[in-house]
Structure 1
Amino acid sequence: DVVQAGNYGKYLGYYRVQLKKGKVISSEYKLLKIEDGKSEDIPMKKKADEYINNPAFNKVIAEIPNAAKGNIYLATVMANAYLNECHADLAIQNEGGVRIHELPAGPVTIKKVYELDPFDNSLLIVEMTPDDIKYLIEQSIKMQGDYDLAPAGFTYKIIRNEKGELSDIELDFMKTMPNKSGKFRIAINSYVFFAYLKDRSFTSTETGLYSTQVLINYIRDTRLAEPVKVLIPEESKGKY
């Protein structure tokens, strides 16, 4: 089973499984709301601080000349990192996976990159037709309300009718061409694959790469010297 406790630490996932002779005979899953104002677990905090204050996290990987601001902009940086290192045709990153709003100009530490992307999701290659990509974007709109997926290598536009309902999604692959099967090799993180594409059967290939390390490599190698081009509206109206 795949379980999910939402985001932003609002809930704790509780999963109870009953076994008999090695087989599951019943299961129960529920979300437990984390209440504000509860006292800290001191031993747990001490253990967490050991990781947070690890000297290795303070290593500077690059000096960036300009601040990188905004969730969609930072998601676009991540998508470009995936595109570059996975050698894919296209790439996407969900805005919800961006957990800070700015990388300030100046030194960037490993710790700062983990604040931006604390998940270190595995990166996958999925072969998708244009209709498949539209379906993926439709699922993101259903889940998040608006533009959520930041693309690299292509752009898209959400078209709504007079009632504000989704009527179409326009795709522009620019100069990128599909393979002989009419499919593009698209790099996505494992969260997007399992959360957004769970209702359809898509085959994915593990790259052996992980999102945070790929982002560290990209920032180290490029220093973000050239601004990335955001290919969708930067001020989205989604949940983030």
Structure 2
Amino acid sequence: MRNLIYLLLALTAFSCRGPLYSPTVQPRYYKVTDKIEANEAGPQVQNMVETIAPYKAQLDAKMNRVLATVETPLVKGAPESTLGNWSADLLAAAASANYPNTNIAFATMNQGGIRVSGIGAGPLIVSEIYELMPFDNTLVLMELSGKELREFISHIVNSGGWPVSSGLAVHRKASGLTIRIQGRPLADEERYTIALPDYVAGGGSNSTMLKDKERTDSGLLIRDLLIEYAGKISEPINVVVEGRRMRLE
């Protein structure tokens, strides 16, 4: 991903040098790497590399910043996984911190929103969060009735399970769904506020039951929130799959 960013910066810098004219030389192709050796490129490319070098150094420093330490690899999976639990818990913490006067029942994000299969043990750096969530999805709050929330949770279950924070516990068995919100049974007459990506709130991932509901869009990128709150973790990250958040039998 970093190479792609460098290439885009390079193309932008090169395109700003002046108007484009028909080429008078045969094109040459260069392997895209973090470094172009002097003997591999002509003066134009070298000038381009020198132009973007300061920006590349800044980008490297930003992307390689260590946020935390992963003790046990975080792995994506369904219906429940270490990577899903960690991401959803972090989103719930960010939502609660940004809306301190609101009781966030739980946070969730669609499986497709997580774009990596896992994060290995060792230093967790910023670029890994960009790879985890490359989309510019924002944090949204939605207040739903218990009946509306039950329909949404049923959709999550029927989709094979999504990442959900510890505020939600779902048990599916032959007799139906047992849903508990923050330790209490879901009540149809009560109202609950959940945190989720704007993509899902707008009906994405077949969440059509949410499409026309009122919502509060924070304008905050979920990726940035994950980076911010991962950076506040002082202990090594060691997530355990509890088997309680999304238990489907």
| TM-score relative to the length of structure 2 | 0.61
How far apart, in 2, do the equivalents of 1:186 and 1:172 lie? 14
Aligned Cα root-mean-square deviation (Å): 3.4
Q: Give the aligned partner of residue 82 of structure 1.
A: 91
Contact 1:134 1:169 in 2 (8 A): no
Which is higher, the Rg of structure 1 or of structure 2? 2
Contact 1:61 1:107 in 2 (8 A): yes
Look up the SS of the partner of 1:89 in the other structure: strand
Correspondence for 2:191 among 162, 178, 183: 183
State the Cα deviation string for residues 75-98 of structure 1 (Å, max 9, x = none).
221211121111123111222211
Correspondence for 2:66 among 60, 78, 81: 60
1:63 maps to a residue whose letter is T
Shift of 1:177: 9.0
How far apart, in 2, do the equivalents of 1:220 and 1:112 lie? 13
Structure 2: where are the runs of 5+ without partners?
Answer: 1-6, 13-31, 33-51, 97-103
How far apart, in 1, do the equivalents of 2:74 and 2:169 lie? 20
Shift of 1:47: 4.9
Q: Give the aligned partner of residue 154 of structure 1.
A: 168
Larger proportion of helix: 2
Larger proportion of strand: 1
How many residues align structurally?
Answer: 184
Distance 1:151 1:80, change over 3 A: closer
| Amino-acid identity (%) | 20
Structure 1: where are the runs of 5+ without partners?
Answer: 1-42, 161-166
Distance 1:89 1:174, change over 3 A: closer
Contact 2:88 2:109 in 1 (8 A): yes
How far apart, in 2, do the equivalents of 1:209 and 1:44 lie? 25
Correspondence for 2:200 among 189, 192, 196: 192
How far apart, in 2, do the equivalents of 1:226 and 1:187 lie? 23
How far apart, in 2, do the equivalents of 1:52 and 1:103 lie? 24
Correspondences of 1:78-227 after superposition (within 5 Å): 78-87=87-96, 88-141=104-157, 145-160=159-174, 168-175=176-183, 182-194=190-202, 195=204, 196-200=206-210, 201-222=212-233, 225-227=237-239
1:85 maps to a residue whose letter is A
